[in-house]
Amino acid sequence: MSDNAAIRTENLNLFYTGGHASQALKDINIAFPANRLTTIIGPSGCGKSSLLKSLNRLHDIHQNTRIEGEVYLGGEPVYQSRRPVPDIRSRIGYVSQKPTALPMSIYRNVAYGPRIHRSLGKAELDDLVETYLRKVNLWNEVKDRLHSPAAQLSVGQIQRLSLARSLAVEPEVLLCDEVTSALDPISAQKVEETLLQLKEDYTIIMVTHLMHQVERLADHVVFVYLGEVVEAGEARTLLNHPGKEATRRFVSGHAMPDVALRATA
Amino acid sequence: MNRYTKQTLVESLIRLSMALVVGVLALIIGMTLYKGGLVLWNQPEVVITAPGPMYLLGGSGGFLHAILGSFAIVLPATLIATLLALAVAMYLQTDYCSERFARAVNLLLYVLWGTPAIVYGVFVLTLLIVMEARASLLAALVAVTLLQFPIIARFMDEALRSVAANLKESGYSLGLTRLETMKITLKAALPGLTAGVIMGFARGLGDGAAVLFTAGGGINMPNELDDSATTLPILIFQQASSPYPSVRDDAFAAAFVLMMLVLGLIVVSKLIANHFSRYTQDH
Ligand SMILES: Nc1ncnc2c1ncn2[C@@H]1O[C@H](COP(=O)(O)OP(=O)(O)O)[C@@H](O)[C@H]1O
Ligand SMILES: [Mg+2]
């Protein structure tokens, strides 16, 4: 399976070294298959976001983290690499839990990344902005106000704009962290439909704690609990015939022992 | 005591304090505007006239030298303090330095902020004595810069800190460098950054203690960097302590001008903040 893995981790450990020092990820060895949508599931606080951010070196921007192990992107090391970190990050898109508009126009939000990484003419840039706004089903809603501030859009629209902005850099992998959790049900559904379309063409790794989202979207599932990967595999198999007791409990909606309680106990 | 009586009692006290504070403020501002306005109404030319040789002794002329002196000192001081504060505030963010270091520097900035302006004045005066130099426009400029720097730096640090972490994460994930991400952060923080500059500017414009011993305070127009200069607060001090009633009245005119300048600055800062806040997310 590691042959067609878009991205995989090797003995990945993550430590938060600040005031409340803790190990957030323990010996993660996991491969995310190319051109599939993988969901990372698990109770809140188990390390899903931490795992996602370690894939594109987003922990590097904070001083209070330490990472051991390696991540391979298309076979190339992400951490022990001679390339500048921004170059590596540009190959991995990331959409955060909180919908985020860059402080500029809708147009510039999409054009910002591509303009930095490639030299593009005005016409090419216009095309590119339209292409990616269409890809996330936002074009028709914003085509008449491309040059007004993106912050004036609704949160649901901003979340789709964030998707377009990430995709416009043409990453090999797209990371999504609970991208629907801040949205109302209708906006959430629109984002979900967009992801359903996108998964035809992209390798998507998506954190969620919503089982119905996993059932609708996932090809592949990784179950994380207390900073460890408990089980990973084909979505159908894992959901219908979980191999571990913890997975069975979580998938069937049983209460899990609270992570925070466990940590302090 | 009954819950509702308690509420009535506490709220009455709050209203009383409110009335007291607003009343005193209205009195100060009202008196300055009235007495200053009266002078300016009768002889508006004092604002645009240079002082005559006997100006501070009740002679002819106006206080243009102090208005120009204020700007000649405070504008460049604000510019320098802003550049230094911006660099420091940028460095204090988590992308560049540890939280522990940032906390220590911020504590220091608070102490500097709370330091009385006269201390900066005396500090620069001491330097002048050591260097055997005279009080001058340049010396006052340095003292005002020192006074403004901690204020602007604290404002800017707070403004940058309040930019949501996910905005930075979004920037970095697009493959932006630290500097490119900082540019976006700065833009998102522009309303707060502007507020900091304006607060520093207003403080520099209105402060008398930092420039009292360092500017020289003659009645010449500001000219050379190493020549003496006067600012509005120094002038107000000179006029208010004069034995001549007409000179004391002129102090109110100078205070009137100073108040209007500060008010104008605050209005400008609000306009700028409103303009840029269209780009910042409130949800
Ligand atoms: N910046 C941080 N500093 C210290 N601990 C953190 C930090 N971020 C997350 N943690 C801790 O790491 C664990 C995993 O967090 P997270 O990855 O956000 O979980 P999830 O996304 O699954 O809810 C939690 O116990 C959390 O308290
Ligand atoms: Mg999370």
CA distance A250 to A247: 5
Domain boundaries, chain A: 2-99+171-251
- What's the confidence (pLDDT) of residue A255? 72
Residue range A236-244: mean pLDDT, rounded: 91
| Ligand 1 nearest atom to the CA of residue A52, by list position | 17
Residues B57, B31 share a domain:
no
Residues B113, B15 share a domain:
no
pLDDT band of A142, cuts 50, 70, 90? very high
CA distance B96 to B157: 13
Sheet with strand A173-177: strands edge to edge? A92-95, A173-177, A203-207, A37-41, A220-225, A228-234
CA distance B277 to B171: 19
B28: domain range? 3-42
- What's the confidence (pLDDT) of residue B278? 86
Residues B219, B154 share a domain:
yes
Chain A touched by B273 (CB under 8 Å): no
Residues B87, B20 share a domain:
no
* Domain CATH code at residue B145: 1.10.3720.10
CA distance B75 to A170: 47
pLDDT band of A258, cuts 50, 70, 90? low
Interface of B with A in 150-169 (CB under 8 A): 164, 166-169
Which ligand is closest to the CA of A44, given by its number?
1
Q: Phi and psi for B115 in degrees, rounded to 5?
A: -65, 130
For chain A, the C-alpha Rg in angstroms (whole number) is 19
Give the ipTM. Answer: 0.92
Residue B283, pLDDT above cutoff 70: no
Q: What percent of chain B has pLDDT over 90?
A: 83
Please check whether residue A19 is in contact with residue A186, taking contact to mean a CB–CB distance below 8 angstroms. no
Residues B26, B109 share a domain:
no
Residue A2, pLDDT above cutoff 50: no
Q: What is the distance of C-alpha B69 from the center of its chain?
A: 15
Pocket test for ligand 1, best of A14, A17, A22 (most atoms within 8 A of CB): A22
Residue B51, pLDDT above cutoff 70: yes
Q: What is the pLDDT of residues B219-277, one digit of tens each?
A: 999 988 999 999 999 999 999 999 999 899 999 999 999 999 999 999 998 898 888 88
CA-to-CA separations, B6 to A33, A193, B3, B16, in angstroms, rounded: 66, 56, 5, 15
Fold of A2-99+171-251: Rossmann fold (3.40.50)
**Closest residue CA from atom 3 of ligand 1:** A16
Residues B209, B148 share a domain:
yes
CB-nearest partner of A165 from B174, B187, B190: B174
| Beta strand ranges found along A74-144 (DSSP E) | 76-77, 92-95
Number of folded domains that form chain B = 2
| Among B101, B102, B92, B109, residue whose Cα is nearest residue B148 | B109
Which tokens go with B105? 């520097």
Nearest-CA distance A103 → chain B (Å): 5
Residues of chain B in contact with residue A59, where contact means CB-CB under 8 angstroms, are none
Sequential DSSP letters for B141-162: HHHHHHHHHHHHHHHHHHHHHT
Q: What is the pLDDT of residues A178-224, one digit of tens each?
A: 999 989 999 899 999 999 999 888 999 999 988 889 999 999 999 99
Ligand 1 proximity of A47 Cβ (cutoff 6 Å): yes
Chain A touched by B179 (CB under 8 Å): no
Residues of chain A in contact with residue B273, where contact means CB-CB under 8 angstroms, are none
Q: What is the pLDDT of residues A215-226, one digit of tens each?
A: 999 999 999 999
Q: What is the pLDDT of residues B176-222, one digit of tens each?
A: 999 999 999 999 999 999 999 999 999 999 999 999 999 998 899 99
Residues B108, B16 share a domain:
no
Q: Maximum CA pair distance of chain A?
A: 60
- What's the confidence (pLDDT) of residue A219? 95
CB atoms within 10 A of CB A104: 18
* Residue in A with minimal Cα distance to B276: A103
Residues B65, B37 share a domain:
no
Residue A259, pLDDT above cutoff 80: no
CA distance A249 to A230: 12
Ligand 1 proximity of A44 Cβ (cutoff 6 Å): yes
Q: pTM of this prediction?
A: 0.89
A252-256, B163-167, B171-175: least confidently modelled range: A252-256
CB atoms within 10 A of CB A15: 17
Ligand 1 centroid to A253 CA: how many Å? 22
Residue that the structure tokens 């990484």 belong to: A117
